[in-house]
Structure formats: structure tokens, C-alpha cells
Amino acid sequence: MKSKVLISGGTGEIGTSIVDELVKNNHEIIILTRNPPTTLSDSKIEYLKCDLNNENDLNQIIENIKHNNINIYSLIICSGVNHINKIEAYTFDQINNIVQTNLTAPIHLIKSILPFLKKNKKSNIIIISSQAGIDPQVYNLVYSAAKSGLINLTKGLAKELGIFNIAVNCICPGDIESEMMNQAIDKLEKIEDKSKSDIKDTINCNIPIGRFGEVHEISSVVKYLVECQNSYLTGSNIVIAGGRTCH
């Protein structure tokens, strides 16, 4: 039986860093993505095409895992999307996209993969939320609400799945140097009529450590949780935000 880590959102910047960190430490990975690459860069990485809000796609993933006799010992939820805007300016489709991608899709995936995790003596689920789920941010309220849902999902799952020795923990990244952050700053520049440098300075002033985070500062903690042998560590929300949410 082949044992693998299953990750959604493994092609984004944080997700790619997580995959690289795990592969470097000899974990084999299955990445679920809507757009798999045509060529593979590493034999330890497998891509499966899947829209997490499509029931048929999820059923095919389940059948693939069964058919290939794969043991899933760790499930990582890292998929996410965001649109910065004033609350009254969001379109119907934008709201649905944010909530479905950040909250509904993870619930669908966890529900589908849970039977495989329960077969193990020890498994884990790691959910990537956001500091925005703790501290709702202006012009980012829909995303904040969805990410808050992930934090509560983590706590509820930890209570429900503890009897199966499945550890469930959440990570809340803060302001991370990434394309998503750059897009957010571009949008804030228009909404607030300020320069990008002024916006970044304002954000940095709210971060005690005084800088944006790097993706490796998230992926190193994910690796620890994947390999963690302390089954008493469950239901936790680990905030990696340079101290921004210390209040």
C-alpha cells in the first residue's frame, strides 16, 4: 500500500512551498487542482484534476484512491481565493466564489477523505486559514468570514474525530509576501487612494516584527504538524503573523 499526503491548493505560493518542504523530507504527495501541469517535475508528486465543489470530481478522486490502494495519512487544506472590495461593491459571483472556495470546498473534501483517514492508527488534517479569520479586515469581510469558518471547523472536527486519533489543527498565516498580497495591495491602492508604499507601511506598522512573512515560515510549521507524533496536539489554531493578532 502506498502512503501519501493529499493537499488541495498545492499549486499556489504557500501550497508549492508546503509541497517542496514535504518532498524534501521524503513524503509522497497527491495534489488536487483544477489545472494539472502537463509534465511532472518530481516522481514523488502526483497531480489529480479536481474541482472540489463538483461531486462527480470528488467521487472520481475517491475511486482513484481505492483503485490504487493508497493510504492517505495527512490531508492538507490550502486552497483559497480572495477579492478585496467594499462590502456593497461585491458581485453575487464574487461572494459565492470566496465562500465556496475557502469554506464549502474544504468541507466537501474533508467529508470525502475522512473514511481513508479513519483507517489509520494515526492521521492528521491541517487546515490553512488566515489571520483575517481572527481579526476581520476592512474591505476583506467576505474572506474574513469564510476563513473564520475554517477555524471553527477545525475545533469542531478535533472534538468529533479525536476518538479516531485524527489530529486536526489550523494555521493562520498573516501578511505573506505573495502574488495574492500584491493583488490585495493593488486593489487597496484604488479603494483608499493611497500609494502602494504607504499601504505597505501601514500594514507593517501593525506587525510587531515589522515585516511581511515568507512562505517557508508557513510550510515549515505544516511539515512539523504532518510529522508530529504528539496526538495531544489537536484543535489548535497556530497563528503565524509576526505578532499582528496579539490582542
Q: Which residues pair with 12 in a beta bridge?
A: none
What tens digit of pLDDT does each residue of 180-215 get? Answer: 999 999 999 999 999 999 999 999 999 999 999 999
Ordered structural domains, the chain, with CATH: 2-175+214-240 (3.40.50.720)
**Cell 465543489, located at residue:** 53
Q: What is the pLDDT of residues 45-78, one digit of tens each?
A: 999 999 999 999 999 999 999 999 999 999 999 9
Nearest CA among 53, 136, 135 for reference residue 87? 136
CB 145 within 8 A of CB 136: yes
pTM: 0.95
Cα–Cα separations (whole angstroms), residue 92 to 83, 89, 101: 12, 10, 14
247 residues of the chain, pLDDT tens digit each = 679 999 999 999 999 999 999 999 999 999 999 988 877 778 899 999 999 999 999 999 999 999 999 999 999 999 999 999 999 999 999 999 999 999 999 999 999 999 999 999 899 999 999 999 999 989 999 999 999 999 999 999 999 999 999 999 999 999 999 999 999 999 999 999 999 999 999 999 999 999 999 999 999 999 999 999 888 999 999 999 999 886 5
